[in-house]
A and B are shown apart, each in its own frame.
Chain A
Amino acid sequence: MRFLLSALAWILDPAHWAGPTGIGARLGEHLLYSLLALVLATVIALPLGLWIGHTGRGRAIAIGTSGALRALPSLGLLTFLAVALGVGINGALLPSTIVLAVLAAPPILAGAYAGVEGIDRDVVDGARATGFSERQIVTAVEMPLAAPMVLGGIRSATLQVIATATIAAYLGLGGLGRFILDGLPVRDYSQMLAGAVLVTVLALAIDGLLLLLQRSLVTAGVRAATGVET
């Protein structure tokens, strides 16, 4: 309790908020790293997941690969990539983005294909027989009906990425991980705990925002259709 209070005091100290190494700047960096990784993961995993759900092909490979990706230790992968890619401190953003994207891709992929697979086959068959082209089936039938699951996958990925983006500091990047990493050698436990608290609060706050977004994006019709109370 004493540690927590001193961490809170550390956070509330206005002196810790200002400047390029302050909490404000670190929050911005943390969000930027997370956003980059999420965009990269979504661009790859979302179309792939929708394609797997639509065609029913490649499902076994996708499950296997994403399971294996999940099992990769992020810190190990980060070190490996930093060395393998041969990028210095200045190029550290690339390996860190890849590592976080690897973490984000499986839930997005799973949300997309499970969302599409969960649609009543008669609905898709009826749409096709009525004269929807394959593209129209994907965009007008499968995507709206899978939307709650897709957004759920993105939410879950976001939570994990924000929590894990602390490792960017390990390569000399910024972000909230800085406080945790910098506090350790000088035994500044208040600062370390403050970093952890900030990451947690950020993750929860963003999750809340996404929940609101999910509610506004899922239309009344999709709610009626899927029975999802989001």
Chain B
Amino acid sequence: MIRFDHVHKRFPDGTVAVEDFSLEVPSHQVAVLLGSSGCGKTTLMRMVNRMVDPTSGSVWIDDDNVADLDPVALRRRIGYVMQSAGLLPHRTVADNVATVPVLEGSPRRAARRRALELLELVGLDPGIADRYPSQLSGGQRQRVGVARALAADPNILLMDEPFGAVDPVVRRDLQRELQRIQADLGKTILFVTHDVDEAFLLGSNVLVLRKGAEVAQSGEPSQIMAHPADDFVAEFIGGPRRRLHTETRDGVQAVIDAEGRVTGFVDQGAG
């Protein structure tokens, strides 16, 4: 369980990244912070592993206030995946995945065995274990990043736009892979993205944020889509693109959005 209790963040230069934010993410659930860049979502996420300390308020993991925990030890028990993967370019894939176990004193051989298992778990060929990050594709690097985050078997995963820098086809693969892994492992995941479709696909709870990390609306994806709280939310999640109706065209049921564009067809065989 992750809990934000009235956190506020003002940076030394005076910018207020987070006004007043509270949230509880129940264990084994995926909460998505959805918002445009600069809304404070990444700052919020980085408070969980103390990469950022709140100016006031507190962040709790189960019954521990993170401010009372040693940052280095805390970070080792929380998986972290970032947009650029952030792998160590001078270490092999296997060494990158084994980073935390080795820091924690696990013998090299055991750490490597675990790394190879994790590569398979995230859908990579263990044959790439001895390559360097610069020899991988963007999608492969992100998978390695996910494997590294899972290496110490953390209860919590923080994912900061992890699939933001790969092309749409690879992104869909990675999203599906994450869903599969999550179904198996049941981590508590805090996921940050500006991609509405990604948020609705992955999140059991989605928070739409505006500037200063103010919650415009939170809830299940279907609730937000069906009943956007205000114009900001409606516009952010797609506006007219999400208001659909059907018409019969050329003898089939076409799905049309509020601006009159055909976005798809009703599958006659289904339902």
Chain B residue contacts of A222, Cβ below 8 A:
90
Partner of B86 from the list A122, A136, A220 (CB cut-off 8 Å) is A122
Which residues of B have CB within 8 Å of A128?
51, 75
- Given A131-B76, A131-B100, A126 and B132 touching (CB < 8 A)? no
Query: Complex Cα distance A69/B79, Å?
Result: 47
Interface of chain A, main secondary structure = helix
Q: Which listed residue (B72, B82, B134) contacts A131, Cβ 8 A?
A: B72
Smallest Cβ-Cβ distance to A221: which chain B residue:
B90
Contact of A127 with B by CB under 8 A? yes
Contact at B75–A224, with CB atoms within 8 Å?
no
Report Cα–Cα, A137/B31, bound state, in Å: 31
Q: Mark A112-126, 1 if CB is under 8 A from B, else 0.
A: 000000001011011
Q: Report the minimal beta-carbon distance from A156 to chain B, rounded to whole angstroms.
A: 23
Query: Judging by beta carbons under 8 Å apart, are B86 and A145 in contact?
Result: no
Task: Contacts A126-B82, A129-B49, A130-B148 given; indicate if A225 touches B90 (C-beta within 8 A).
Answer: yes
Q: Which residue of A lies closest to B148 (CB)?
A: A130
Is B135 a contact partner of A123 (Cβ separation < 8 A)? no
The reply to whether B103 and A125 contact each other, CB–CB distance below 8 Å, is no
- Residue A133 at the chain B interface, CB threshold 8 Å: yes
Q: Which residue of A lies closest to B151 (CB)?
A: A130
Q: Are B90 and A219 within 8 A (Cβ)?
A: yes
Q: Mark B65-85, 1 if CB is under 8 A from A, else 0.
A: 000000011011000101011
Cβ-based interface call for B91 (8 A):
yes
Q: Please pick, from B46, B72, B90, B148, the residue contacting A224 in the complex, using a CB distance under 8 A.
A: B90
Q: Is A24 an interface residue (CB 8 A)?
A: no
The answer to whether A123 and B89 touch across the interface, beta carbons within 8 angstroms, is yes
Shortest C-beta distance, A33 to chain B (Å), equals: 36
| Given known contacts A131-B103, A224-B132, A225-B134, A126 and B86 CB-to-CB distance under 8 angstroms | yes
User: Which of the residues A122, A129, A225 comes within 8 Å of B75, measured between beta carbons?
Assistant: A129
Contacts of B46 in A (CB 8 A): 129
Query: Is A210 an interface residue when CB atoms closer than 8 A count as contact?
Result: no
Q: Are B85 and A126 in contact (CB under 8 A)?
A: yes
Residues in B with CB closer than 8 Å to A145 are 89-90
For B51, B82, B86, B134, the residue with the greatest tally of chain A CB atoms inside 10 Å of its CB is B86
Which A211-230 residues have C-beta < 8 A from chain B?
219-222, 224-227
Cβ of A141 under 8 Å from chain B: yes
Q: How far is the CA of A123 from the CA of B90 in the complex (A)?
A: 10
User: Is residue B99 within 8 Å, beta carbon to beta carbon, of the partner chain?
Assistant: yes
Q: Which residue of B lies closest to A145 (CB)?
A: B90
In the docked arrangement, what's the CA distance between A167 and B100, Å?
53
The residue on B at minimum CB distance from A131 is B76
Report whether A130 and B75 are in contact in the complex, using a CB–CB cutoff of 8 Å: yes
Which residues in A have their C-beta under 8 angstroms from that of B132? 220-221, 224-225
**Residues in chain A near residue B51, CB distance under 8 A:** 125, 128-129
Beta-carbon contact of A221 and B92 below 8 Å: yes
| Given A133-B72, A225-B132, A225-B134, A127 and B89 contact (CB-CB distance below 8 Å) | no
Contact assessment for A131 and B87 in the assembled complex, using a CB-CB cutoff below 8 Å? no
Contact call A131/B89, Cβ cutoff below 8 A: no
Q: How far is the CA of A226 from the CA of B88 in the complex (A)?
A: 11
Q: Is there contact, CB below 8 Å, between B89 and A129?
A: no
Looking at A123, A222, A226, the one whose CB has the most chain B CB atoms below 10 A away is A123
Query: In the bound complex, do residue B90 and residue A129 qualify as a contact, i.e. CB atoms below 8 Å apart?
Result: no
Q: Are B90 and A144 in contact (CB under 8 A)?
A: yes
Across the interface, name the chain B residue whose C-beta is closest to A222. B90
Which of A125, A133, A136, A225 is B89 in contact with, Cβ under 8 Å?
A225
Q: Which residues of B contact A189 (CB under 8 A)?
A: none
Give Cα A127–Cα B136 distance, bound, in whole angstroms: 19
- Looking at the assembled complex, report how far the CB atom of A120 sits from the nearest CB atom of chain B, in whole angstroms: 8
A132 interface hit (Cβ, 8 Å) = yes
Judging by beta carbons under 8 Å apart, are A221 and B91 in contact?
A: yes
Q: A120 to B90, alpha carbons, bound, how many Å?
A: 12
Select from chain A the residue with minimum beta-carbon distance to B134: A224
Within 8 A of B (CB), among A83-120: 120
Q: A129-B49, A130-B75, A132-B72 are in contact. List 19 more A-B contacts (CB 8 A).
A: A122-B84, A123-B86, A125-B51, A125-B82, A126-B80, A126-B84, A126-B85, A129-B86, A130-B80, A130-B99, A131-B76, A131-B99, A144-B90, A221-B90, A222-B90, A224-B89, A224-B132, A225-B89, A225-B90
25 pairs, CB–CB < 8 Å, chain A vs chain B: A120-B84, A120-B89, A122-B84, A123-B86, A123-B87, A126-B80, A126-B84, A126-B86, A127-B86, A127-B88, A129-B49, A130-B75, A130-B86, A131-B76, A131-B99, A132-B72, A141-B88, A224-B90, A224-B135, A225-B88, A225-B90, A225-B132, A225-B133, A225-B134, A226-B90
